[in-house]
Amino acid sequence: MKFFIDTADIEQIKEILPTGLVDGVTTNPSLIAKQGKDMRGIIESICEIVKGPVSAEVTATDYENMKKEGLYLSSIAKNIAVKVPLTEDGLKTCRELSNKGIMVNVTLCFSAGQAILAAKSGATFISPFVGRLDDINESGIGLIKEIYEIYKNYNFQTSILVASVRSMEHIIESAKIGAQIATLPPKLIKELFIHPLTDKGLKAFLEDWKKTGQKIIPDNG
Ligand code: G3P
C-alpha cells in the first residue's frame, strides 16, 4: 500500500520525509487555505522535495476554466496530479487532461457509480472520502470494497486513493481490501508506529541489557 500525506504544510512533510514513507502528497483548497500562503509557492515547494504524485486541485467548476486551471497546475511540476471534483464538468476535464498524459485525481467520490464514471473518464486516481461517509452513518470502508470489486471486474487502471482517512481502522481495512493508496493526515502516519507493547517490550529489553554492564560497541571498539 502506498502512503500519500494529506497536507499542504511543508514542515509536516519535511518531518516525515526521512521515514521513506512518503509516496506522494494530496492537497485541496481547504488544506491550502490553512497555510495562508500563495498556492503556487506551496505546490512548488512540495514538488521540490516529494518525487511522487502531488495533487493540486482546480477551483473552477465549469469545464472550460477547469481545463485551463488544470493545464496551469500541471505546468508547475512534472509530478503534479491535477485534482478535479466528481462532477460532470470535472469528468469532462479529467478525460481531456488524461488524454494529454496528465495525471488526474478525481476527488469527492461518495458512491460506486461515481467511481465507475471516474475510471471510464481515464482517472489516474479516484479519491473516495471514507471519513465523510462515516460521518453520515454510511460505510466508507464498504464503498472501498465495492469500488475495488468493480474495478477488478473490468480491469480498470484507476488507482483507489482512500481519502478522508480518520483512523487506524480505515487504513488497515482499506489495505485488507487491496486499495493501492491511502492519503493520511501526518498525525496518523505517526500513530502507525505506536503500540504500547512495543514500548513496554523495549523498556524491558533495555533494563535487562543495562544489568549486563555491556555495550554493543566496546569502548575500545
Ligand atoms: O483528502 C481529503 C481530506 O483532506 C478530507 O478529509 O477529514 O476533511 O474529510 P476530511
Confidence (pLDDT) at 58: 98
When pLDDT is averaged across residues 16-33 and rounded to a whole number, the result is: 97
The DSSP code sequence of 30-82 is HHHHHHTS-HHHHHHHHHHH--S-EEEE----SHHHHHHHHHHHHTT-TTEEE
Please tell me the distance from the alpha carbon of residue 117 to that of residue 86, in angstroms, as a whole number: 9
pLDDT in tens, 115-130: 999 999 999 999 999 9
Of all protein residues, the one whose alpha carbon is nearest to atom 4 of ligand 1 is 164
What grid cell was written down for 34? 490553512
Of 129, 135, 167, 183, the one to substitute when testing ligand 1's pocket (max ligand atoms within 8 A of C-beta) is 129
What grid cell was written down for 151? 474495478
Q: Is 83 a catalytic residue?
A: yes
Residue 10 has pLDDT above 90, yes or no: yes
2-195, what's its fold? TIM Barrel (3.20.20)
pLDDT in tens, 180-195: 999 999 999 999 999 9
Whether the CA torsion 161, 162, 166, 168 is positive or negative: it is negative
pLDDT in tens, 125-158: 999 999 999 999 999 999 999 999 999 999 999 9
pLDDT band at 220 (very low <50, low <70, confident <90, very high): confident
pLDDT in tens, 158-217: 999 999 999 999 999 999 999 999 999 999 999 999 999 999 999 999 999 999 999 999
Please choose, from the candidates 92, 44, 42, 41, the residue with its C-alpha nearest in 3D space to the C-alpha of residue 70. Answer: 92
